[in-house]
Every structure is written in C-alpha cells, then in structure tokens.
Amino acid sequence: MPFTQDLKEQLEAAETSTVGTSFGGVGPKANFSVTALRNWVAENIQYDDSGLAEAYIRLNALCSDRVMKSLLSSAIRTSFLIELTDIRVGSTKMKTRWLPGLILMPQPGSFAPIQGSFEPGNDPRSSSFETCLLVFRRFLSLCHQNLSDNDETLQDLGRFLANTRVPYEFPISYVDATLEPIHSSDNVSWVFNADAKWLACARPLLKAATGDDGRAIKKICDAKLKVKVFLTDRALTGKDKTNRAKRWEILSGDFQHATLPDCWSVERKLTEQLVEFSGFPAAIRQRFIDEDLLPAAAARSKCPVTLSELEFGPFAAAVLSAQHGRSDYQIGHMEPLKTGGRHAGANVSWQSADGNRIQGDLTLQATRTLIRGIAERQQAAGL
C-alpha cells in the first residue's frame, strides 16, 4: 500500500477511535496521540515515492532530534488535523479535516453558535485529504527553505520550540485568514517574525523565576498568557455553549478570531507590561534589560482606565489564592472585540479590576469621555 494511503488510514483510525460521540458519532472515546502518528510517519515515510521522503531526509539532516520531533508533530497537527469544540461542550477534540462531523458553528448576526456539519464544501476550514497532503508537503518545504544555511534562525527556532505556550505552536500560518476554503498549500507561509523571536528569549526568563514569585509568574503564564492570549473565551450559559478553541482555528468572521502572529503580538505586549509592574522581581527585570528585551528606562505599567500603577505584589497574591473567575487584574481590549476591535498587541493591556468594571463593554475612548463627564458634573455640583 502506498505511504500516503496508509497515512490516511492511520489518521482516520486515530479519529474514529478517540472522538466518541463528540461529533455525532457512536465510537469509543480515548486520547488522541499526535506523538503516535509522528512516530509512525518517521518510521514509514522512507517508503514514500512522491517526494515526501526526500523532503523529510533533508530536514532531518538540518535539525537536532528534538527540533525534528517537534517540527514533524506540528506539521502533522497543522496539515491534517483541527481541534474543535464537541457538540456536548465537554471538551475540544482532535479530528481530521475531511471526515464529516457535527460541530458548533457561528450564525450570521448572532454571538450564539448553532450546530452545523464540518465537512469539505460546508466549512472553509475543512478540506480533502489530498489537499491536506499538499499542505504537509508545503510545510516541510517552507521549513527547509527557511532553515537551510541559516544557523541563526535554526537556533532561534530551537529556543522557541523549547518554550512553546500552547501545544504544536509553530511558525507556520495562513497568508489570508478570510479565504474560503482557507486550508490550502498556497495559503500557508513561514511567519517566524520579530515577536516570536522576542518571545523565544522572554519566555525562559519568566520560567526561571523561583519561590513564591516563580509560582505566581507560572500561574499568570498558565491562566493569562496562555488561556486568554491564545484561546477563545468559554460560553457556558445559553442554549448553545462553547469550549475554548485556538483563536486561529475558529472561523475568520468570529469576533474572537486572531491569527497566530496576532496572538504573539498580544503576548509580547502583555509580557512587556508585566515586567514593568511595580514590584516585579528586580533580577528578572534586569535580565530582560541585559538581553535587550526591554529598555532600561521603560515606564511603569498603569491601568489605561484608572491610570493607577499596576502592582505585582497584589497580583501575585491574588493568583496564588484566586477564586475561580476572580482576579485583581484582567486583560482588556481597548476596542472591545464585540464592537469590532482586534485581538492584537496594539489593542490590549492589563487592567485593574476597577478599570475593567468601569470600562465594561465600552471602548477606552468612550470610557474616558464618560469619566470626564462625571467629573465635570460633580465639580459643577460642588461635590
């Protein structure tokens, strides 16, 4: 049997044996293992005669074993698979891009999703196995083009892959997120930009913190810089509920959509601000300065609504003893997503709890206008 046909059967077997009833099926439910698929591909791609084996061998000669394993896992995950919210909203589940299944989809003019069918021709993210195979080939080709004879990029990529924020985070993304269908070999590109390289250096510095500070920073990274930056919000009320999904894997028309580079810009902005919180561990801040990740004279971070200085001590104490759903500091969008704002670095900031409550669903500019109006009326009233 040709390698590609065997690969298709491996992928379909992995889906049918793991999704259970998530997409309207009746099969068993187990954990999906991209690692098992990666190992199978690594062992069997040598038997391919369509050019994949040659591309794999060229890359394998360039990369360390660790980088190659991560690269191949990401190539399989990006090319053939998508993680979607199941129709019961118990979790998100991995599935192939071509086998039909019921999912929750947005509906025009509403923020509430409805059930729809995920299959080629009905969902722009779905595609045939043959198209996925072309994306896989393009993924390997892009990696070789950008890593060959470029030791600096290879080192940067190795550092990045050792410190990913979400599984299978890799610098390959869509050229145009609005295309329908979106998943095609002509629509993927190498996106290892300045933000990604900055994060490759910054993430290990945060991870190096120890003691209570280290535990607090880890919690902030896990609960904020991972969940809020890269994943959509949950909708746990109403008729149709949703679970968290990768922002770049939801439909481009969804108000929570963001590209992977957009998410990197958000994480970079929030990390830069976090390090400038009053009372942030001085040794870690100095390392950011020493590695040219921050200017020595950077201004302290302030809430954009109240203009109060943001303090690391209370934030750390809050996250270490946080009650579910409560936090002294939130991640705010200056132009709310539901009114057309983008999930991008230029549109985000840490906010105090007071600032978040005051802004609500308003834009930052509308909030400031409201505050000025209240102050002027109070002054006129002699209060």
- pLDDT band for position 236 (50/70/90)? very low
- pLDDT band for position 82 (50/70/90)? very high
3-class secondary-structure state, position 242: strand
Residues 78 and 145 in one domain: yes
Report if residue 135 sits inside a domain: yes
Report if residue 200 sits inside a domain: no
Report if residue 203 sits inside a domain: no
Mean pLDDT score of the chain:
90
What are the C-alpha distances in Å from 325 to residues 152, 223, 233, 329? 42, 11, 12, 11
Instruction: Extract long-range pairs of 12-15: CB within 8 Å, 24+ residues apart.
Output: 12/96, 12/99, 14/94, 15/94, 15/95, 15/96, 15/99
pLDDT above 90: residue 89: no
- pLDDT band for position 19 (50/70/90)? confident
Residues 150 and 296 in one domain: no
Nearest-angstrom CA–CA distance, 340 and 106: 16
The answer to whether 220 touches 274, Cβ cutoff 8 Å, is: yes
End-to-end CA distance of the chain: 84
Mean pLDDT of 100-109: 74
pLDDT of residue 112: 64
User: Which of 159, 192, 225 finishes a domain?
Assistant: 192
Q: For the segment 39-53, what is each residue's pLDDT rounded down to a tens digit?
A: 999 999 999 988 899
pLDDT above 50: residue 238: no
pLDDT of residue 23: 82
| CA–CA–CA angle 234, 162, 90 (5° rounding) | 20
Q: For the segment 158-175, what is each residue's pLDDT rounded down to a tens digit?
A: 999 999 999 999 999 999
Task: From 237, 310, 327, select the one nearest 275 (Cα to Cα).
Answer: 310
| Phi, psi torsion values for 3, nearest 5 degrees | -55, -45
Q: For the segment 291-347, what is each residue's pLDDT rounded down to a tens digit?
A: 999 998 878 999 999 999 999 999 998 888 866 445 678 999 999 998 999 999 999
User: Which of 140, 166, 192 finishes a domain?
Assistant: 192
Q: What is the largest CA-CA distance in the chain?
A: 86
Report if residue 202 sits inside a domain: no
Query: How far from the centroid of its chain's Cα atoms is residue 265's Cα?
Result: 11
Nearest-angstrom CA–CA distance, 291 and 271: 15
Question: What is the residue-wise DSSP string for 4-36?
Answer: HHHHHHHHHHHHHTTBTTTTS--S-B----HHH
The answer to whether 73 touches 79, Cβ cutoff 8 Å, is: no
Two tokens, residue 155: 């080192």
Domain tally, the chain: 2
pLDDT above 80: residue 241: no
Residues 184 and 221 in one domain: no
Residues 176 and 225 in one domain: no
Give the global pTM: 0.92
Task: From 226, 304, 225, select the one nearest 271 (Cα to Cα).
Answer: 225
Nearest-angstrom CA–CA distance, 63 and 66: 8
Q: For the segment 175-203, what is each residue's pLDDT rounded down to a tens digit?
A: 999 999 999 999 999 999 999 999 999 99
Residues 128 and 214 in one domain: no
Task: From 201, 203, 174, select the one nearest 190 (Cα to Cα).
Answer: 174
217 Cβ contact partners less than 8 Å away, ≥ 6 residues apart? 206, 209, 284, 316
The answer to whether 326 touches 317, Cβ cutoff 8 Å, is: no
Report if residue 199 sits inside a domain: no
Report if residue 272 sits inside a domain: yes
Residues 242 and 160 in one domain: no
User: Which of 163, 192, 221 finishes a domain?
Assistant: 192
Instruction: Extract long-range pairs of 329-333: CB within 8 Å, 24+ residues apart.
Output: 329/353, 330/356, 331/224, 331/228, 331/229, 331/270, 332/304, 332/305, 332/356, 332/359
Residues 5 and 154 in one domain: yes
Nearest-angstrom CA–CA distance, 50 and 128: 18
Residues in the chain: 383
Report if residue 198 sits inside a domain: no
Residues 96 and 130 in one domain: yes
Structural domain for 376, as ranges: 210-383
Residues 132 and 214 in one domain: no
Two tokens, residue 279: 């009372």
Nearest-angstrom CA–CA distance, 62 and 281: 39
Residues 321 and 242 in one domain: yes
Report if residue 257 sits inside a domain: yes
Residues 166 and 303 in one domain: no
The answer to whether 14 touches 59, Cβ cutoff 8 Å, is: no
Two tokens, residue 123: 């969902």
Two tokens, residue 168: 């299978």
Residues 144 and 289 in one domain: no
